[in-house]
Amino acid sequence: MVDINMIGKTVLITGATDGIGKEMAIALQRMGANVVIVGRNAAKTEAVVKEIRVGNPTGGSVDSMVADLSSLAEIRRLAAEFKEKHERLDVLVNNAGAYFAKRLISVDGFEMTFALNHLNYFLLTNLLLDMIKSSAPARIVNVSSGAHAMGKLNFDNLQSKGFFMGWTAYGTSKLMNILFTRELARHLEGSHVTANVLHPGFVATKFGHNNKGLYSRFVKWSQKRALTPEQGAQTSIYLASSPEVEGVSGAYFHECKIVQPSRAAQDDEAAKRLWEVSLELVGETEKISS
């Protein structure tokens, strides 16, 4: 990987205590960035911070914040605390997400996959958008998945009510990540802030391990042939740091190259409608609309 100078840049990475997010934090800190990682477990998050500091004491700074990103109140608290502690945000990486085999409900009453994988990205980004714009040129990187191709966006049933299939809900949330990024890029035109989205590949992380029974065992078995987290993080690192993508916005990447997502993921009318619906659901229409 090319050694890009990130000295003086502040990077916020969610879901950074394991897998892709953790590898991103390590790589960008080594480049000299001031990295802030977000995790749900305080002890684990602090342990990762110490690990990164010991592994490369001459790199940029590394700090942590703790939040349950399936909760709108926690997302708002995280954004407010970040603004209190930091003066700028050069790169925001929305990476936190999960697969749920059973239909669970978030503290706000949303289906959990929708809450964590979509509303989390949407609300956190919008709450930090003024700070990101003031730090321009800046970047927003959203981690999606090739699983978006099996997603089905039904505006009459965004909460996956009725018959629930975990993979369909997950694929739909990843489809939403791409649509959100496309609409976000449109909102950001002329701001010198870019927004891109990516498929990291099939990576051997702890993804899916939160579920029990046969599914968890199947995931662990299938990951024997998967990419390592370090390999899976390369496109995310590339989008966060490479001068090659300076000015590129609204694109979907895989293996550090622009590729075409599914036809449903290119529906700009659906992207606009999803934005508007999401604004209403998070209850922040006046504060975060742009």
Q: Does any domain span residue 2?
A: no
Q: What is the CATH number of the domain that holds 272?
A: 3.40.50.720
C-beta atoms surrounding 154 within 10 Å: 9
> What's the mean per-residue pLDDT of the chain?
91
Please give the residue range of the domain that contains residue 46: 10-288
Q: How far is CA 242 from the centre of its chain?
A: 18
Rounded distance, CA 173 to CA 115, Å?
9
124: in domain = yes
Distances (CA, A) of 89 to 9, 34, 124, 153, 228: 7, 10, 13, 32, 28
Higher local confidence (pLDDT), 219 or 284: 284
The catalytic residue among 170, 215, 238, 252 is 170
pLDDT in tens, 136-185: 999 999 999 999 999 999 999 999 999 999 999 999 999 999 999 999 99
Residue 5, in any domain of the structure: no
Residue at 82 is within a domain = yes
Answer yes or no: is 24 within a domain.
yes
Asked about 238 being catalytic, the answer comes back as no
**Domain tally, the chain:** 1
Please check whether residue 1 lies inside any domain of the structure: no
Residue 129 neighbours by CB distance under 10 Å? 22
Q: How far apart are CA 13 and CA 140, in angstroms?
A: 10
pTM of the model as a whole: 0.91
Would 4 be classed as within a structural domain? no
In a domain, 139, yes or no: yes
Q: Is pLDDT of 209 > 50?
A: no
- 223 contacts: CB under 8 Å, gap ≥ 6: 202, 203, 204, 205
Token readout for 149 is 């191709």
> Which of 25, 280, 290 is closest to 155 using CA atoms?
280
